[in-house]
């Protein structure tokens, strides 16, 4: 297949692009700088995209978007919103206008779509929640409509927290835990829906191959855990204590609105459509996932 990937240098793209190339696919990267071999230029802020270079694609995987990390000032929130909705809309409209559009557009979203939902079990058919992230995700997903109207199969994987040493939330957690000052966030009762980066790559390949799938697909491991349980297991894997609970008020002072949306909010997500179409998770269990990601194999004791 001839596949275009946006966000190719990001946490997911940097693992996905070589995996697709190893399978024999021709991978093009959509970039903002002067394009080199295997690259196509776009400027989403200016509404510019080289449409002619997109003719003859089989699929597009759209990963690009402004990072959520950092305090959410009004200006930063605007960038987060625009980078997702504006970029996705430009890409979708351009693909829809091609003489030979691709068969498939995989455009990522996030489980922030569901908002803070407590203990409710969330599947793809659940309605959106409230708050900034939920609003952004709704606009982000709606921006794919021009492609769907053109007859392109649009799949929207809603990503959970990606476990990787190379970046994301887990990488930021490691230092305090290794120093022995890690602990639950707030009450610790909020649900965390996670997925390894290896499984994100596996899910993307599954979505490319499973032509019966379209629309939203929860991309999270099948065993979400509470923040308290996540903390306990991470401490065990790192052989560190987890005694220092971080009060919610301290998180709000440090991170502002981001704290309630991303650290204290609860999403108990089930990957119903992935499981129904036969995707087998490489790492369905959190402890096994963390040991793989952090290269901390379980030590067997002598004598069993």
- Condensed to tens digits (0 to 9), the pLDDT of residues 6-42 reads 999 999 999 999 999 999 999 999 999 888 999 999 9
Is it the case that residue 151 has pLDDT exceeding 70? yes
Count structural domains, the chain.
1
The answer to the question of residue 302 being in a domain is no
pLDDT band at 300 (very low <50, low <70, confident <90, very high): low
The answer to the question of residue 136 being in a domain is yes
- Condensed to tens digits (0 to 9), the pLDDT of residues 116-143 reads 999 999 999 999 999 999 999 999 999 9
Q: What is the CATH number of the domain that holds 130?
A: 3.40.50.720
Which range (80-89, 95-104, 266-275) has the least confidence? 80-89
Q: What is the pTM of this model?
A: 0.94
The answer to the question of residue 301 being in a domain is no
Domain extent, residue 282, equals 2-290
- Condensed to tens digits (0 to 9), the pLDDT of residues 173-195 reads 888 888 888 899 999 999 999 99
The answer to the question of residue 133 being in a domain is yes
Q: What is the spatial distance between Cα 202 and Cα 115, in angstroms, rounded to a whole number?
A: 26
The answer to the question of residue 300 being in a domain is no
The answer to the question of residue 271 being in a domain is yes
The answer to the question of residue 298 being in a domain is no
> How many other C-beta atoms lie within 10 A of the C-beta of residue 52?
9
The answer to the question of residue 234 being in a domain is yes
Distances (CA, A) of 204 to 38, 172, 199, 214: 20, 25, 8, 13
């Amino acid at each position: 297949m001839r596949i275009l990937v946006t966000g190719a240098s990001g946490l997911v793209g940097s693992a996905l692009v070589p995996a697709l190339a190893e399978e024999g696919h021709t991978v093009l990267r959509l970039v903002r700088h002067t394009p080199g071999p295997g690259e196509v230029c776009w400027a989403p802020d200016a509404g510019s995209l080289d449409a002619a270079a997109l003719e003859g694609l089989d699929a597009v995987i759209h990963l690009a978007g402004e990072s959520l990390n950092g305090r959410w000032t009004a200006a930063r929130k605007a960038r987060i919103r625009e980078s997702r909705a504006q970029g996705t809309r430009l890409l979708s409209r351009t693909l829809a206008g091609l003489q030979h559009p691709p068969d498939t557009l995989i455009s990522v979203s996030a489980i922030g779509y569901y908002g803070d939902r407590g203990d409710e079990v969330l599947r793809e058919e659940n309605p959106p929640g409230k708050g900034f992230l939920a609003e952004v995700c709704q606009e982000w997903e709606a921006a794919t409509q021009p492609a769907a109207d053109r007859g392109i199969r649009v799949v929207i994987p809603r990503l959970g927290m990606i476990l990787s040493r190379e970046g994301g939330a887990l990488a930021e957690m490691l230092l305090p835990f290794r120093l022995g000052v890690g602990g639950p966030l707030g009450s610790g009762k909020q649900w965390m829906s996670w997925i390894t980066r290896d499984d994100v790559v596996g899910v993307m390949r599954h979505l490319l191959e499973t032509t019966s799938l379209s629309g939203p697909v929860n991309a999270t491991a099948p065993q979400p855990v509470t923040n308290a349980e996540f903390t306990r297991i991470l401490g065990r894997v790192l052989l560190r204590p987890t005694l220092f609970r971080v009060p919610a008020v301290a998180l709000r002072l440090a991170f502002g609105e981001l704290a309630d949306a991303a650290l204290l909010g609860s999403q108990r997500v089930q990957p119903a459509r992935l499981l129904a179409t036969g995707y087998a998770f490489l790492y369905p269990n959190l402890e096994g996932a963390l040991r793989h990601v952090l290269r901390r194999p379980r030590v067997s004791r002598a004598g069993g």
